[in-house]
């Protein structure tokens, strides 16, 4: 950040607390969500609502089982989490890694570092992977990836 005073530029240092506020709040929100999921069991039908896609089509959407997977992870049941929604487990791990990277970059002085810069190709690859994952879960070979 730069401020202009009397015609010349002076560098203004952004405080450590201000630089890491975004990553720290994001991590705290994620941790809070996991705590809520730990104590309010999504394995009970309807405890967190219903998936409209599942209700209409009878097939799980890409996120179906994600809440159960997070609950299973908080209880240390990794295998159960993977069968509830393997993609959600991957997204959680990738998201945590991105938040840590964001925090470290901000802590080292990169005040403008962002959580994620998403090139169009990466977004397209992720979208295609989610479609493949979803359709594969609907097949007899992939039904082990979804335990209702």
Question: Between the CA of residue 95 and those of 2, 63, 64, 124, what are the distances in Å?
Answer: 31, 15, 18, 18
Alpha-carbon dihedral sign for residues 115, 94, 127, 55? negative
Are 37 and 71 in contact by the 8 Å Cβ rule? The answer is: yes
Six-digit token string for 105: 């970059």
Residues 106-128 have pLDDT tens digits of 999 998 899 888 788 988 999 99
Q: What is the pLDDT of residue 59?
A: 86
Comparison of pLDDT for 145 and 72, the residue scoring more = 72
pLDDT band at residue 148 using 50, 70 and 90 as cut-offs: low
Burial code (b: 16+ CB inside 10 Å, e: under 16) for 69-79 equals: bbbbbeeeeee
Look at the pTM and tell me if it is higher than 0.85.
Answer: no
Helix (H) or strand (E) run with residue 91 in it: helix 78-107
């Amino acid at each position: 950040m730069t401020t202009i005073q009397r015609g010349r530029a002076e560098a203004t240092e952004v405080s450590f607390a201000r630089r890491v506020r975004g990553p720290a709040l994001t991590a705290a929100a994620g941790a809070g969500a996991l705590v809520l999921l730990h104590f309010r069991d999504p394995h009970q039908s309807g405890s967190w609502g219903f998936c409209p896609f599942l209700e209409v089509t009878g097939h799980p959407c890409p996120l179906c089982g994600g809440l159960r997977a997070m609950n299973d992870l908080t209880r240390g049941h990794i295998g159960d989490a993977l069968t509830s929604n393997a993609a959600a487990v991957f997204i959680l791990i990738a998201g945590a890694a991105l938040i840590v990277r964001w925090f470290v970059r901000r802590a080292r002085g990169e005040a403008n570092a962002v959580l994620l810069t998403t090139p169009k190709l990466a977004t397209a690859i992720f979208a295609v992977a989610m479609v493949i994952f979803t359709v594969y879960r609907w097949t007899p070979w992939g039904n082990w990836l979804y335990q209702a």
